[in-house]
Every structure is written in structure tokens, then in C-alpha cells.
Amino acid sequence: MASRPPENWRAYMADTAREVAAGTLPPGCAGAADPYPESLLQSTDAALEVFEGEVRALREPSDEAVFETVERVVLALNAIDRDEQHGGPHFCTEEREQLCDYIDLTLSEHGVDVAALAARRGIDRAAITDRWRDW
């Protein structure tokens, strides 16, 4: 199963903190060790967990059912990204790519042919979240 992006972000923060502690990264970079507030990580994990459950529940889904599931997770992630409790927008290029890859991989792992799904809509596979995504 695909690892959720917040797992990657937590690992990045731990690696950066170790490098600062070991002296291999300048102390001025210490702020880079904590770019993701725990509230953001937890909220993102929760939204992705709901998405996973919805994808698991899909049985021979129509394209519309798959896109509705994608829409719900993207809208949830939009709300998380805008939520001021996390200190403002956090899903930048790297995070966006990880989230989109995670959505694609999760669908694929549960039998959805994402390339064919996208082709039937006349879009690129990488664009399945674009209609709703603000981040």
C-alpha cells in the first residue's frame, strides 16, 4: 500500500533535525526541520484515511463514482490547505505532487485503471484532481 504523504513529510522533518543535530546542516536551517505543523499532518492523514475507505468500498465503480471520490478528497485537502490553524497554505509543488501521486496510486492499488479513466474524460492521468484542486 502506498505510504501517505504525511509519513514522507514526518520522515523529512526527522532527517533534517538529525542533520542539524549532527552539525551537517547549518543551525540556520533548523526552521526547515519543522515546515509541517502537526495539525496539518493529522488533518491530511485523516482526509486520506477517509479517501482510502471510500476507494476500498468501490466495487466495479462507474467513472462518475471514482471522480466523486476524488472530488471529495481534493475538496477536503483544499480546506486543510486553507485552514489558518495550520499557519496558512502548505501544499506547495512537492507536496502537491506527492498528494496527486498518492491519489493515483491508491486508486490503482484498488483496481481502478487511472490512465483509462482519464482518457475517457479526455484528460491526462496527472490531471484527475485538477478540476477541484486549489493547492
Supply the pTM of this predicted model.
0.89
How deeply is 4 buried, as exposed, middle or buried, from its count of CB atoms within 10 A (0-12, 13-18, 19+)?
buried
pLDDT value at residue 17: 81
What is the Cα–Cα distance from 11 to 13, expressed in whole angstroms?
5
Q: How far is CA 119 from the centre of its chain?
A: 22
Rg (CA), the chain: 17
Q: What is the pLDDT of residues 99-128, one digit of tens each?
A: 999 999 999 999 999 999 999 999 999 999
At residue 25 the predicted structure's pLDDT band, cuts being 50, 70 and 90, is confident
Count Cα neighbours of 5 within 13 Å in the Cβ-side half-sphere.
26
Q: What is the pLDDT of residues 72-109, one digit of tens each?
A: 999 999 999 999 888 777 788 889 999 999 999 999 99
